[in-house]
Structure 1
Amino acid sequence: MRKVIVLEHLSLDGVIQAPGAPDEDSSGGFAYGGWTAPFLDESLGTALERQMNLPFDLLLGRTTFDIWESYWPYHADAWPGVKTATKYVASNTRTSSAWQPSVFLDGDIAEKIAKIKQQPGPDLNVWGSGNLIQTLLKHDLIDAFWLMIYPVTLGAGKRLFAGGTIPAAFKVTEGIVAPNGVIVVNYERAGAVITGRVGS
């Protein structure tokens, strides 16, 4: 079965909005676009490169797809896998793109993604796509979070864990701390939340 892996740049207070550039996504009056730029270094680049050299397809929300569609076809040398990956796009408004291969999903997105997970193929990487992630969380379709957690709080913006979050347990399968303070960690699903009494 294919896994759905959410990969995100994440502030300490859980914001994932516009990590790459000031004009990436200013919706809601977000004023801190490009907040990851001061932290990029060789160790973080190495971790990203290793992750992006694994086989993958992409699962994106429409807004993130629109952003990527205007950039990645012209910068594919950095991450060649983005060029060849099938882009599955959750959208009720778009049906086609010149950036191929792309498949547009409408209607019951959760049901369609559940079926795609059962098909043969590489894992499905989710970047950005804050609204889509809430749907994936709500329907328990996420198998792992590969997070880059930055030592900064932003106070406002689209958050990774918002309206769709359900109780779930995870285990750490990989983790590094970069010299600049960025924590790169992989959390994989580990069943239900277990409770107990501390000190008993």
Structure 2
Amino acid sequence: MGLIHIDLFTTLDGVAQAPGGPEEDAAGGFEFGGWQAPLIDEVVGGQIQSGMAGMDALLLGRRTYDIFAAYWPHQNGEIARLFNSIPKYVASRQAPALEWADSTLLGPDVAAGVSELRDRHQNIHVIGSLNFVQTLFAERLFDRLTLWVYPILLGKGKKVFADGVVPTNLTIIEPVVVSPKGAVLHRYALAEGTPGVGDMSEVEPEG
């Protein structure tokens, strides 16, 4: 059974809109497209590369697919070769033309479509695709969540948890990584159950 990985880059206040460049997504008058670029360093680059190990499919929302399809086929390098060689699946309520090689429209039943992908691939990565990610969160249709959190505040912009999420437990699966420029990498796995509650007055501090 394959795994669904969600990979997101976010500011400390949760903004994940247009990290890659000024023209990526200016919806809502967003003025900070490309905010991630000044904070990239060797640690971030290395972790992004290692996080793609074993990736054998991409699952993208329509907007992110269009951005990727306009960019990656014209690039060289390891990431470009990977993205251009693996199958791409697109979640969309419409029937867009999918011109990037080996691209397929996900069926209208998202849960059924994700189940089929799990049977077909080992590591399916969802990158960006904020609107689609909200559906995956709501339906618990993911297995891994990778969050790169950057030390800036933008206030406005599309956010990772904009409309709230279904209460969900996560388990951190490797030590947190901090880059020289202050980006913090968290990698989580979906866990069973829902968050518990308690009374802090009854909890004895350790030490």
- Which category of TM-score, normalised to the shorter sequence, fits these structures? over 0.9
Tell me by how many angstroms 1:64 deviates.
Answer: 0.3
Which residue matches 1:140? Answer: 140
Q: Measure, in 1, the Cα distance between the counterparts of 2:115 and 2:165.
A: 18
CA distance in 1, matches of 2:201, 2:191: 23
Q: Which residue of 1 aligns with 2:205?
A: none
Aligned ranges for residues 19-168 of structure 1 at < 5 Å? 19-79=19-79, 80-117=81-118, 119-163=119-163, 165-168=165-168
Q: 1:29 to 1:95 in 2, by over 3 A?
A: closer
2:199 maps to 197
Q: CA offset at residue 123 of structure 1?
A: 1.4
Specify the SS of the correspondent of 1:184: strand
How far is 1:98 from its partner?
Answer: 2.6
1:7 paired residue number: 7
Give structure 2 stretches of 5+ with no counterpart: 203-207
8 Å CA contact 2:21–2:33 kept in 1: the answer is yes
Counterparts of 2:142 and 2:88 in 1: how far apart (Å)? 17
Of the two, which has the highest radius of gyration? 2
> Residue deviations 1:92-137, cap 9 Å, x none?
22344231211102422233223322x1322110111111011111
Cα distance in structure 2, aligned partners of 1:5 and 1:67? 19
Percent identity, aligned pairs only, is 36
TM-score by length of 1: 0.93
Deviation of 1:83 (Å): 1.3
Report how many aligned residue pairs link the two structures: 199
CA distance in 1, matches of 2:173, 2:110: 29
* Corresponding position of 1:186: 187
Superposition RMSD on alpha carbons, in Å?
Answer: 1.5
Q: Which moved more, 1:88-97 or 1:35-44?
A: 88-97
Partner of 2:43: helix, strand, or coil? Answer: helix
User: Alignment partner of 1:145: what SS?
Assistant: strand
Distance in 1 of aligned mates of 2:164 and 2:87: 26
Name the CA distance, whole Å, in 1 between partners of 2:138 and 2:162: 10
For structure 1, which segment, 103-112 or 177-186, has the greater mean C-alpha deviation from structure 2 after superposition? 103-112
TM-score (norm 2): 0.90
Give the Å deviation of 1:164: 5.9
SS of corresponding position for 1:71:
helix
